[in-house]
Structure 1
């Protein structure tokens, strides 16, 4: 069921995705003819306060972020009535990073860097505004028709503010990508996003995850141990600079983990994954 105000401005087209609470459709503006994505949420499926909070929070955060960065999904309109919410955003109709990783396995360093530079730039922008995404994963990294990255799905995002503490609580995220301090139940800061982005970079370069198990519990235990390894068979052709960046992002000691701004200044990122040194064979 669509809000009447939405129907007066947009024409709904085919379904392009489906989530826990709703369906994503392609739509177009009847005034301009431009195409967009519409996330349609059935409010009757929001069974608890946490679910409702996520749905309420996402458009507010997208509104704050919209227009400020080319690699963050842009919010165009929100419509709400008694039974439903429609969130109109950029249309990202290319394969997301999850599908690209499944198709290509490992990426070359320049290819991985071209994606990673856009991702970490978007994360740094969020952090400058006091927003932590808290669910950075390949499924939430979309691409538009021009192959430009768009960081999406801010339902788990949180304001961490500009105070001295700058901490958050709550277990959110996805098992393979969540930072160990989140799983341990401690307070944490925005660097949880850096851990998750590091896991994504590792996966792009290696074609495998750094921490995994047969069950969610085993995966959580592997993340908590945070025993980062670079198997020679997989990492033989990966540069020392890339490994250095990974060690500084997937770092259990949060005080030593790089910030988003520091990641942007790392030589591997600045040089776009192009390195002159020989690959580390150890």
Structure 2
């Protein structure tokens, strides 16, 4: 079995004294919390070898995240002008599955083409730009009012500054339209947000190629301007078009089976304890309970790399 390198790291004492920190992770000292989101906290870090703060500079905050070697979906569309219907179906299935997972955890997203990256296996990764949260036990009852999102991709209720719910994410049919045609369904030149909203309400959609009629019917169902008539994510996942060619692969929400201690990879455990400074008991507890944290993310990313 291939083993990960286990470099020895020396921490200068003066850095330990001058930089307030709670723990060491690899080559970094982890200091104060800068901010936190739904899934993770952004912490200030000090690189031990250089003494530079790596997550915060005078003008910017930096986040170290998983590498998406496939690039972003916007570039893919620009290169090809438009994507094949089969590929759009595959991407849309992944997006709907991921969005339903987010909804089950009370998160309503700002979905747009720029928020979709591709990994090395050509699978969609949703990047968090702006999002909002609901109580998970009241997804169908509670409405949100915080205005966020990009006008070209935002649902009509957002542009009208009305309260909204999870169905704003079903409006991601805009992104699907862009994949299929290489254009956005609603455009106004020069840009005017009131005219854009009116086009959405009136259903004044841009021209559509005639060879994707089945896909268009599905897209139009997602671009219903009245959220009461717009399908839920679950209903969209059960539509015929989205399941063509997948008769033996029912579209379901992403889920992860909790691991048992015996399932954990010994090489990754050794690397995390000897190099990253985690305790073995902490790793086993957090990873086997699948608790969202930097430790859980580190384990799975290292396992993937191995």
Please, what TM-score do these two structures have when normalized by structure 2? 0.61
Q: In structure 2, how many angstroms separate the alpha carbons of the residues matched to 1:231 and 1:221?
A: 14
Ranges in structure 1 where 5+ consecutive residues have no aligned partner: 12-28, 30-42, 44-54, 64-76, 275-282
1:80 aligned onto 2:44:
yes
Match 2:169 to one of 176, 193, 218: 193
Q: Which residue of 2 aligns with 1:129?
A: 105
Match 1:216 to one of 185, 188, 191: 191
Match 1:139 to one of 114, 120, 124: 114
Match 1:267 to one of 229, 240, 259: 240
Q: Which residue of 1 aligns with 2:131?
A: 157
Q: Which residue of 2 aligns with 1:21?
A: none
Please tell me whether the aligned partners of residues 113 and 273 of structure 1 are also in contact (alpha carbons under 8 angstroms). no
Deviations 1:54-85 (Å, cap 9, x if unpaired)? Answer: x83xx43124xxxxxxxxxxxxx742269835
Q: How far is the alpha carbon of 1:216 from its aligned partner? A: 3.5
Match 1:243 to one of 216, 239, 244: 216
Q: In structure 2, how many angstroms separate the alpha carbons of the residues matched to 1:207 and 1:229?
A: 17
Q: How far is the alpha carbon of 1:5 from its aligned partner? A: 6.6
User: Number of aligned pairs?
Assistant: 210
Q: How far is the alpha carbon of 1:90 from its aligned partner? A: 1.5
Deviations 1:100-124 (Å, cap 9, x if unpaired)? Answer: 1111122121011111111111111
Please, what TM-score do these two structures have when normalized by structure 1? 0.65
Q: Of Structure 1 and Structure 2, which has the larger fraction of its residues in strand?
A: 1
Q: Aligned-residue CA RMSD in angstroms?
A: 3.1
Ranges in structure 2 where 5+ consecutive residues have no aligned partner: 1-18, 46-52, 248-306
Q: In structure 2, how many angstroms separate the alpha carbons of the residues matched to 1:183 and 1:231?
A: 19
The aligned runs of 1:43-122 (5 Å cut-off) are 56=35, 59-63=36-40, 78-80=42-44, 84=56, 86-122=62-98
Structure of higher RCO (CA pairs closer than 8 Å, 6+ residues apart): 2
Please tell me whether the aligned partners of residues 160 and 197 of structure 2 are also in contact (alpha carbons under 8 angstroms). no
Change (3 A) 1:272 1:249: farther
Q: Which residue of 2 aligns with 1:183?
A: 159
Please tell me whether the aligned partners of residues 92 and 142 of structure 1 are also in contact (alpha carbons under 8 angstroms). yes
Q: Which residue of 2 aligns with 1:206?
A: 181
Q: How far is the alpha carbon of 1:187 from its aligned partner? A: 0.6
Q: How far is the alpha carbon of 1:273 from its aligned partner? A: 9.1
Q: How far is the alpha carbon of 1:191 from its aligned partner? A: 0.8
Change (3 A) 1:166 1:145: same
Q: Which residue of 1 aligns with 2:12?
A: none
Deviations 1:103-156 (Å, cap 9, x if unpaired)? Answer: 1122121011111111111111111111101x21111101112222110124x2
